Structure 1
Amino acid sequence: MIGIVTAPDGDLAQLTAVRQALFDAGLIPLMIAPTGGEPTGEGVDPVAVQRTFATARSTEVDAILLAGTPCPAVDADGARDAKAGAPGGPGAAADPRVVLLLTGAWRHTKAIGGWGTAEDALTAAGIPSGAVGIVIGLLAAHRVWDRFPPPPIRRPSALSWRPHAPSVLGYTLGMLTLGVEEEYLLLDPATGLPVARAAQVREAARLQPALERGEVQRELLQAQLEVATPICHDLEEAGGHLLRMRLALGEAARQQGCRLAACGAAPFTDRLPVPVTDTARYRAMHADTRLLTDQQLITGMHVHIGMPDRGAGVTVMNGLRPWLPLLIALAANSPLWQNTDTGFASWRTVVFGRWPVSGPPPSFRDADAYDRRTRALVGGGLIRDTGQIYWHIRLSENFPTVEIRAMDVQLRPDEAVMLAGVVRALATRALDDADAQHGVPPVEQEMLAAAVWHSARHGCTSTVFDPLAGHLADVGDAVAALLEHIDPVIKTSADRRHVVPVLERLLRDGNGAARQLRRLRAAGRDGLIAVITDQTTGV
């Protein structure tokens, strides 16, 4: 990921050429400017800004390109941005937030390149332009390890060495790998209606060098696509893959005249249904459940957590069941359906709950009980195969993972990463609690089903079921209890910075459902579609 920092008066033709050159080289450009939007120029296609100076972070990129030196924007605040090491205001050499971005990249040994007046920004950041990995005119390596001398190697004695960081827990986050699947809608940029262009967008995605073969998958309807990250060992890795795939697939969609949308349900629909994807399985589903299949213009995110065995997977299923209502409330991102405000925060949860084996799973004694009961559903002819087990949590039949599929797809990629981090921390805690023979009190099936419905209805705007208290509680209190519960797992992990600040922002600004409704009321249909498609690709 290469961050391209530009000013409002930057040469758009030059930026477009640099951006395309990065794509051609198999790299992902991330456009960073003072404000969001799509700058345009005569004879040049608009280039979407994906980060503003206020939201860009050096940890997101592998290198930075400076298109000159951006002067302080009108919203630069010297006091707020003081840690950047440069004063704000009209007299400053560079916007203090750009200085902060550069100093962060410098400390993390990332390459910095640029052209024009870029050297002025380096001077403002106190970075010598002749240092290793600082190139005016072209970009060097991904990391510049010889920028700083290596520390002396300390070889631990046999008594002091440990295979994992010390922890009061038997399990640590690093023991459990994770992967994230995201489903997206394809929307017409002018009307916001779903468009049946999945095949065309998949074909265009094959030409995107940033996408690996097989990463983009078909879905039930021809206005839907799915991506899946590789196996990841930490949240930063998972977040990098999600942003990479969203950007590249978003570009493929744009080339086909539509936009990628990470909203849990299609907010606007036409009277004609979207055609089903032409596979034998999907045709059979449509023949069996015509109207229900036509109504599946919904998209979710699935988190896979690697398990040592299926017994551990059942332990995690049982341990995560009580937390499903809170996860659904936080992730709610589907308030609109067929041109209507549903009154629900997660209408997707309601629609998906219409399938015969869906909603919160029952608890299971062990893996044998899980296998026996799920195979009985198939053997009894009630479902076609175990792929039609649509519980909010299930064991994967194809991978050694437990799959959490209760959550709406997220508008912002960092919110998807946060939820994946919460799920992994809860799974780690569930395994450790099982070893210690204690844990969260079990919740009866009828209580859990009612709590899930309550979360789908209210999201984060009211109360939510707190599994530690056993009753409804204020959302802020329930989140505080969640963080206290997973703190022993994340407190010494780098995952914490991807979880806690994003959760705090979500409580402050609202989840995807609240932000969708707020934008619709403030800016109408056009404004809503713009914010959905912009935030999907990281603006």
Structure 2
Amino acid sequence: MDDNPAPGRFSASSATLGIEEEFLLCDPQSGRPSPRNFEVAAAGRALGIELQLELTRCQVETATEIGHHISDLRDQLCESRAVTADAAAREGCQLIAVGTPFFDPVVEEITPKSRYQRMAGQFGALTEGVMCGCHIHVGVEDRERTVQIINHLRPWLPVLLALTANSPLSGGRDTGYASWRYVLFGRWPSSGPPPFFESAGHYEDAVAAMLETGVILDPHMVYWDVRMSDHLPTVEIRISDVPATVEETMTLATLVQSLVVTATAAIAKGEPAPVVDQEMLRAACWRAARDGLDGRSLEVESVRLTTAHQAVRRLVDHVEPALSAFGEFEQVTTSLDRVFSNGNGAIVQRRELARRSRVADVIAECARRTFEGCTADGGGKLSATP
């Protein structure tokens, strides 16, 4: 990323973008989590895709290549979901884009890798939770600037969570939360919104303290909702549930990239990040997890309740210059209008459950929406509908 942009200018082309999506593997008949990630990864490798193994055996993760614009990644997102689903089907599994399983997983189905086994030994039952998120990486070379960007992004974290909430059901019932994944993830001692950091040294001291006290076993266990990547020159936004559709993932990634570009321009102009109270920010994230997109949102700077739709529109207004620089303003606003009208993952799951009263029908609809918006060209190759 350009370390010296002119004040007020948006260096849209230099803010690299990468997307990671975590998916659930479940049994097509029962809908229960299917602990076959090793087998699915092997099948995926034969089909030309490298899948990452997650903490529990009923999860796999995909990752795009690095791009400069969401248009570089649209087809990759659709293609990776399709190929991974094919690999899963070959191993008797169904791939679904949801934040948590519909039924509780089998206990002690931790992926047998040494790091995960050490985590299980240290953190016990915490490692049994199955949570599928979406992680957006935006390139930032300078660590001091990364910390400043994190500070600028903190107030927008609850809005991103509400927009992508996709895990209302667990244990075969409605949990009362649009993002049950976020609530479960909050049990980890290194999770939640990060504090306001004065510098990269302040950030690194906090990580060092967690390592020294055993709160984390390695830097990759820094589970803050936005963090400096421990192995890439990026800022990583990880608060979101895995979105239900490819279109929603593209919209999320574009908004996140635009937030980073907007923050970079503000930093270049000497604009300080808002110093948001940590407990108020935690409360706002809880509200977003509870209400999702069809409820209320707590604005952390004004400390007032508004609707989630209004909060999303305020976010769009905030990043409009960056969206326009990317040429994505119309696409994002059109996509958001569709989500407002039709619902995001949590809304659709609840609507389907109310309409049909069977979790099996909800699962079928979620499986269908995992590939919604993808079309095949004449050669059978999948691409995302813009």
Q: Could you state the TM-score of these two structures normalised by the residue count of structure 2?
A: 0.91
1:406 equivalent in structure 2: 239
1:37 equivalent in structure 2: none
Conservation of the 8 A alpha-carbon contact between 2:21 and 2:133: yes
- Which residues of 2 match residues 235-246 of structure 1 at below 5 A? 235-246=70-81
2:384 equivalent in structure 1: none
Listed one character per residue, the Cα deviations across residues 450-489 of structure 1 (whole Å, up to 9, x for unaligned) are 1101111111122112356442212222222111111111
What is the DSSP-based 3-state SS (H/G/I as helix, E as strand, rest coil) of the residue aligned with 2:293? coil
1:529 equivalent in structure 2: 363
Question: Which 5+ residue runs of structure 1 have no aligned equivalent?
Answer: 1-162
> Identity, % of aligned pairs?
38
1:511 counterpart (331, 344, 353): 344
1:366 counterpart (192, 199, 206): 199
Whole-angstrom distance in 1 between the partners of 2:207 and 2:104 = 35
- Which residues of 2 match residues 21-36 of structure 1 at below 5 A? none
What is the DSSP-based 3-state SS (H/G/I as helix, E as strand, rest coil) of the residue aligned with 2:73? helix
Describe the shift of the 1:310–1:506 C-alpha distance in structure 2 as closer, same or farther (beyond 3 A).
same
For residue 297 of structure 1, report the CA deviation from its aligned partner: 1.2
For residue 372 of structure 1, report the CA deviation from its aligned partner: 1.8
For residue 226 of structure 1, report the CA deviation from its aligned partner: 0.6
For residue 511 of structure 1, report the CA deviation from its aligned partner: 1.6
Q: Which amino acid letter does the alignment assign opposite residue 231 of structure 1?
A: I
1:465 counterpart (280, 287, 298): 298
For residue 439 of structure 1, report the CA deviation from its aligned partner: 5.6
What is the DSSP-based 3-state SS (H/G/I as helix, E as strand, rest coil) of the residue aligned with 1:431? helix
1:32 equivalent in structure 2: none
1:247 matches 2:86: no
1:224 matches 2:59: yes
Whole-angstrom distance in 2 between the partners of 1:266 and 1:498 = 31
2:379 equivalent in structure 1: none
Structure ranking higher in helix proportion: 2
1:198 equivalent in structure 2: 37
Conservation of the 8 A alpha-carbon contact between 1:236 and 1:495: no
1:449 counterpart (282, 300, 303): 282
Listed one character per residue, the Cα deviations across residues 329-374 of structure 1 (whole Å, up to 9, x for unaligned) are 1111000111121000001111001011110000111111111221
2:123 counterpart (280, 284, 289): 289
For residue 316 of structure 1, report the CA deviation from its aligned partner: 1.2
Whole-angstrom distance in 2 between the partners of 1:436 and 1:471 = 28
2:261 equivalent in structure 1: 428
For residue 505 of structure 1, report the CA deviation from its aligned partner: 1.2
Whole-angstrom distance in 2 between the partners of 1:497 and 1:484 = 13
What is the DSSP-based 3-state SS (H/G/I as helix, E as strand, rest coil) of the residue aligned with 2:137? strand
What is the DSSP-based 3-state SS (H/G/I as helix, E as strand, rest coil) of the residue aligned with 1:428? helix
Conservation of the 8 A alpha-carbon contact between 1:222 and 1:274: no
Whole-angstrom distance in 2 between the partners of 1:260 and 1:274 = 21
For residue 498 of structure 1, report the CA deviation from its aligned partner: 3.8
For residue 526 of structure 1, report the CA deviation from its aligned partner: 2.3
Whole-angstrom distance in 2 between the partners of 1:308 and 1:384 = 25
Q: Which amino acid letter does the alignment assign opposite residue 219 of structure 1?
A: E
User: Which structure has the greater CA radius of gyration?
Assistant: 1
Q: Could you state the TM-score of these two structures normalised by the residue count of structure 1?
A: 0.66
- Which residues of 2 match residues 124-523 of structure 1 at below 5 A? 169-209=8-48, 211=49, 215-269=50-104, 272-273=106-107, 275-294=109-128, 296-438=129-271, 441-467=274-300, 469-523=302-356
Conservation of the 8 A alpha-carbon contact between 2:7 and 2:269: no
What is the DSSP-based 3-state SS (H/G/I as helix, E as strand, rest coil) of the residue aligned with 2:256? helix
Q: Which amino acid letter does the alignment assign opposite residue 288 of structure 2?
A: S
What is the DSSP-based 3-state SS (H/G/I as helix, E as strand, rest coil) of the residue aligned with 2:326? coil
Conservation of the 8 A alpha-carbon contact between 1:441 and 1:467: no
Conservation of the 8 A alpha-carbon contact between 2:280 and 2:300: no
What is the DSSP-based 3-state SS (H/G/I as helix, E as strand, rest coil) of the residue aligned with 2:46? coil
Conservation of the 8 A alpha-carbon contact between 1:320 and 1:426: yes
Listed one character per residue, the Cα deviations across residues 278-336 of structure 1 (whole Å, up to 9, x for unaligned) are 11111111122222111x21100000110021111111100110001111111110001
Whole-angstrom distance in 2 between the partners of 1:497 and 1:510 = 19
What is the DSSP-based 3-state SS (H/G/I as helix, E as strand, rest coil) of the residue aligned with 2:99? coil
Whole-angstrom distance in 2 between the partners of 1:223 and 1:391 = 23
Describe the shift of the 1:274–1:530 C-alpha distance in structure 2 as closer, same or farther (beyond 3 A).
farther
Listed one character per residue, the Cα deviations across residues 2-50 of structure 1 (whole Å, up to 9, x for unaligned) are xxxxxxxxxxxxxxxxxxxxxxxxxxxxxxxxxxxxxxxxxxxxxxxxx
Aligned residues: CA RMSD: 1.9
Q: Which amino acid letter does the alignment assign opposite residue 323 of structure 1?
A: W
Aligned residue pair count? 369
2:381 equivalent in structure 1: none
Whole-angstrom distance in 1 between the partners of 2:302 and 2:333 = 21
Conservation of the 8 A alpha-carbon contact between 2:151 and 2:273: no
Q: Which amino acid letter does the alignment assign opposite residue 475 of structure 1?
A: A
Q: Which amino acid letter does the alignment assign opposite residue 15 of structure 2?
A: L
Q: Which amino acid letter does the alignment assign opposite residue 513 of structure 1?
A: A
